[in-house]
Structure 1
Amino acid sequence: MTTLDDLPIRDDLRGRSPYGAPQKAVPVALNVNENTHPIPEAVAHDIVARVAAAILQLNRYPDREFSELRAAFAGYLGHDLRAAQIWAANGSNEVLQHVLQAFGGPGRTALGFGPTYSMYGLLSSGTGTAWVEAPRDAEFELGPETAVAAIREHDPDLVLLCSPNNPTGTPLSHETIAAVVDAARGIVVVDEAYHEFADPGTPSALELLEGRPRLIVSRTMSKAFAFAGARVGYLAADPAVVDALRLVRLPYHLSALTQAAALAALDHSAEMLAMVDDIRGQRERISDELSRLGFHPYRSGANFVLFGGVDEPHRVFEALLARGILIRDIGLPGCLRVTAGTEAETTAFLEAIAEFAPRGDDASKIASGAASVPDATDRPANRMDA
């Protein structure tokens, strides 16, 4: 039987594994940071009606510039953005791929701060861009001094900042973002896939766009909008950046059905985002209860919690899976990650994880910071994150 080794694939792809996370039919799936709340029924009916109308014109190519959708995204984001500053694609991964195709490539370098979203390295590799992962500060934080020092050391063509960071949930300060933009000579991408879950009043990097033509802020509808299956991501940037992305996109890359579904969802943004407060509450509930049990939850501004103090993480992962609860073993020593789901899903997880809580001296060591909780210099194994 033919294998990859028998084919003339690129040398830099040999030995690599495709992106992926476990997809299992379980009662409680809390492993890939999906919004587990269903789309409101009335909104779903409107989306279906818009898509049905688009089907009647599928004999024609879609609007190549997706002008109406770009205007709708600009309206949703605010900050006096114009449609000319918006780009969209099939999920934020494709948006980031376009950025790397336009501004990366052979002889160029992209810099991130690990552990971070594993697709950054994969997208860099796929576009022939060298990927460099610099360390974070303690507790997976990233201060301006650490970030700027890495930029000065590596002099990257692109910097990828995940805010809040995936897989750790760590928020990123405006001070750090501004320092990075000022220090970097190339493109700076702030990936705000989870921004809607941040604490109320948390500023967006969108506030820094004015006068910074090398800054890009990317978003997604997959998370807060509960639209993961629709595959819609977008970014805001200087119009010249959008012109550059046109050079690398495939023709008609956003289907008429995708555009129709996204427009309908944006027209109902208030209803679509109504569950965000509840998710944020479940995130805090998870953190509080894990801390009470003796685990070490890390600071999170996303819809998930990374927690340390886990003895044999993969064994715990398998034990929970056997009970129909799927969370994430991302390969960080002593850590697991769980998505904040519905109240019932959170309850099921907390009741199950309590059995594996640190006991006695272990719990005391974790509470005091003396236990084996990984610092930001630890690197995860080759397990993908979403």
Structure 2
Amino acid sequence: MTWPPLREELRGLEPYGAPQLDVPVQLNTNENPYGPSAACADDIAASVRAAALGLNRYPDREHVELRTALAAYLSRDTPHGIAPEQVWAANGSNEVMLQLLQAFGGPGRSALSFAPTYSMYPEYARDTATRWVQGSRAEDFSLDLEAAAALVRAERPSVVLLPSPNNPTGTALPPDAVGALCEAVGEQGLLVVDEAYGEFRRAGVPSALELLPDHRNLVVTRTMSKAFAAAGLRLGYLAADPAILDAIRVVRLPYHLSAVTQATALAALRHAPELLGKVDELRAERDACVAWLRDQGMRVADSDANFVLFGTFEDRHAVWQGLLDQGVLIREVGPDGWLRVSIGTATEMQAFKDALTQVRKDQS
């Protein structure tokens, strides 16, 4: 027997993770380049110290104060409002997704999405022994709604995972897609709309939160990692029918959110206007990047996120390596021939443009 006695379907697999390299310009993991202010950091430090004085006790298992604050924040994106009883949080949106698959997936059940999409989705399915079903997107990375609904009805998945904006393409779901797919999923499953990059969507693109009162099988997930500039916090959350939260409580680990995490997240939410203050600037920088890349004759996917997918290259790895050699790290991800660049500061984006111009010149 081969040691260690690993599950056969996991043998030989590599762990997920983007390269973490110490280079001057890091534009590969869709982080917010603007960190919290000194005032915000001081509030977090004071909050963590207060929590530390009670670390001999378990944290609030229901994280009620945090859920109340998150509900108030989410209510800004829907005229219907969000109640604390509809909100659940966990250690990053990764744990939120895993809990959903633990509760609603599993042996004899399936999860479905449409490629290209977030590469962790099939791993959540694998880790929960859920059968993975993968449809495909159109040439422009949009979703053919009729074909998507037909596949959902044919496969009858327990969970459908749809990011909006999509990662790695940046494509947002059209307004009518969520409702139509909720209808296609029906009572046998959930439609999970992953809005990890939702705060970066363009004006006029609604949040799926608006449809929660109409579809009890709809789940909308968010994260504090991106727009909130809190990737190091590891705080993801969802809004859904309270019955879905009751199901998650069955599979969650006891006291899964530490007192320190809850205190830090609450402090960050108190500084939401500041932390979200650079979103408009990053949107403008994104749109400028899209325009520049197109001016250079490249294909670029329309983006509602804080990253841009561009191409196509006969040897994308050579382009990626050429940029890295000049101190600019982007992501080699998505369909063959495409690359993804996260949106950074104006200075970082100029460094990316200069490096890409030089790489293309050297390879011509």
Question: Offset of 1:202 from its aligned partner?
Answer: 1.8
Deviations 1:45-77 (A, max 9, x none): 111111111111111110000000000000000
The residue aligned with 2:222 is 219
Scaled by the length of structure 2, the TM-score of the pair is 0.95
For 1:127 and 1:309, the matched residues in 2 are separated by 35
TM alignment of 1:65-104, pairs within 5 A: 65-78=62-75, 79=78, 80-104=81-105
Scaled by the length of structure 1, the TM-score of the pair is 0.90
Aligned partners of 2:322 and 2:359 also within 8 Å: no
63-72 vs 328-337, greater mean Cα deviation: 328-337
Query: In the comparison of the two structures, how many residue pairs are matched?
Result: 357
Give yes or no for the alignment of 1:335 onto 2:330.
no
The residue aligned with 1:344 is 347
Cα RMSD of the aligned pairs, angstroms, is 1.5
TM alignment of 1:175-194, pairs within 5 A: 175-185=176-186, 186-194=189-197
For 2:153 and 2:361, the matched residues in 1 are separated by 41
Secondary structure of the 2:140 match is helix
For 1:47 and 1:99, the matched residues in 2 are separated by 29
Give yes or no for the alignment of 1:295 onto 2:298.
yes
Question: Offset of 1:97 from its aligned partner?
Answer: 0.4
Amino acid at match of 1:88: A
For 1:266 and 1:55, the matched residues in 2 are separated by 19
The residue aligned with 1:15 is 12
TM alignment of 1:101-140, pairs within 5 A: 101-140=102-141
The residue aligned with 1:256 is 259
Change in Cα spacing, 1:352 to 1:290, as seen in structure 2 (3 Å) is: same
For 2:271 and 2:103, the matched residues in 1 are separated by 33
Aligned partners of 2:200 and 2:279 also within 8 Å: yes
Question: Offset of 1:162 from its aligned partner?
Answer: 0.7
Give yes or no for the alignment of 1:27 onto 2:9.
no
In structure 1, stretches of 5+ residues that fail to align are 363-386
Deviations 1:193-232 (A, max 9, x none): 0000001232100001003111100000000001000100
For 2:228 and 2:300, the matched residues in 1 are separated by 25
The residue aligned with 1:376 is none
Secondary structure of the 1:247 match is helix
Aligned partners of 1:290 and 1:296 also within 8 Å: yes
Secondary structure of the 2:336 match is coil
The residue aligned with 2:61 is 64
Secondary structure of the 1:180 match is helix
Amino acid at match of 1:212: H
Amino acid at match of 1:160: L
The residue aligned with 1:36 is 33
Aligned partners of 1:90 and 1:254 also within 8 Å: yes
Please point out which of 270, 274, 283 is paired with 2:286: 283
TM alignment of 1:135-154, pairs within 5 A: 135-154=136-155
Aligned partners of 1:190 and 1:217 also within 8 Å: yes
For 2:2 and 2:214, the matched residues in 1 are separated by 49
Amino acid at match of 2:142: E
Question: Offset of 1:331 from its aligned partner?
Answer: 5.1
Give yes or no for the alignment of 1:208 onto 2:176.
no
Secondary structure of the 2:133 match is strand
Secondary structure of the 1:121 match is helix
For 1:5 and 1:37, the matched residues in 2 are separated by 47
Question: Offset of 1:281 from its aligned partner?
Answer: 0.9
Question: Offset of 1:149 from its aligned partner?
Answer: 1.7
For 2:184 and 2:334, the matched residues in 1 are separated by 32
For 1:56 and 1:142, the matched residues in 2 are separated by 50
For 1:207 and 1:143, the matched residues in 2 are separated by 22
Question: Offset of 1:136 from its aligned partner?
Answer: 0.7
Amino acid at match of 2:166: N
Aligned partners of 2:104 and 2:159 also within 8 Å: yes
For 1:212 and 1:90, the matched residues in 2 are separated by 26
In structure 2, stretches of 5+ residues that fail to align are none
Consecutive aligned runs of 4 or more in structure 1 exceeding 2 Å deviation: 355-359
For 2:15 and 2:312, the matched residues in 1 are separated by 29
The residue aligned with 1:174 is 175
